[in-house]
Amino acid sequence: MNTVTTGHAGAGELTPQVLRTAFAAFPSGVTAVAAMVDGRPMGMAASSFTSVSLEPALVSVCVAHTSSTWKLLAAAPRIGVSVLAEHHGETARSLAARGEEKFANVEWSADEAGAIFIHDSALWLRCSIHDAIAVGDHDIVVLEVESLDRFEGVAPMVFHGSGFHGMSRGTKRVPLRNGWGWEFDPFS
């Protein structure tokens, strides 16, 4: 049976936290958006990734105006987008953290133009910025895809209900907070 847990939220009750929880009902993947900036790796986790257009090849991510990482990435000539795999819970957590050490325990490579790719991902997209549109408290950043690498058989991470999930048989939900990682439970 379906359960209504919060009921109707009036306009005054649509706080960022209420909306964040509500929007988490929509499952998505998680991408790493990353590039070299002044000789150092910079990047962020982004679940707002969406495909936009085939001709030309365009994708988008929505980036919060408060993101200090995006302010730096926005000047990069090329940006790598990696679709994270279901074992990348710790990587997503690191890339979502604030501060200098985001890449300390992340396996990554940069191409000659400075686009950064996370190892063992499901997909790599080598992109440049096509457009950015300020909407509300985010920018919709449209990225042009210049080349890609697909890694067949790599199960993507699924972000839902504020937790990281896998798509393989036997994976189970792991909360985003309170032990952000990913677990494999062969008995579930």
Residues binding ligand FMN (CB under 6 A): 30, 44-48, 61-64, 67-69, 92, 95-96, 98, 159
Nearer to ligand FMN, 92 or 118 (CB): 92
**73 CB neighbour count, 10 Å cutoff:** 22
Cβ distance 36 to 75 under 8 Å?
A: no
Q: How far is the CB of 73 from ligand FMN (least distance, A)?
A: 9
Nearer to ligand FMN, 96 or 122 (CB): 96
Q: How far is the CB of 173 from ligand FMN (least distance, A)?
A: 14
Cβ distance 127 to 81 under 8 Å?
A: yes
Q: How far is the CB of 45 from ligand FMN (least distance, A)?
A: 4
Nearer to ligand FMN, 95 or 152 (CB): 95
> Per the omega criterion (within 30 degrees of 0), is the bond before 186 cis?
no
Q: How far is the CB of 4 from ligand FMN (least distance, A)?
A: 26
What contacts 98, CB < 8 A, 6 or more positions away? 68
Give the integer Cα–Cα distance in Å for 129 and 74: 8
Nearer to ligand FMN, 69 or 121 (CB): 69
Is residue 12 classed as helix, strand or coil in its secondary structure?
helix
Sheet (strand 174-175) strand order: 158-160, 163-165, 174-175
Work out the burial of residue 102: count CB atoms within 10 Å of its CB; fewer than 13 is exposed, 13-18 middle, 19 or more buried: buried
Nearer to ligand FMN, 28 or 128 (CB): 28
Q: How far is the CB of 187 from ligand FMN (least distance, A)?
A: 27
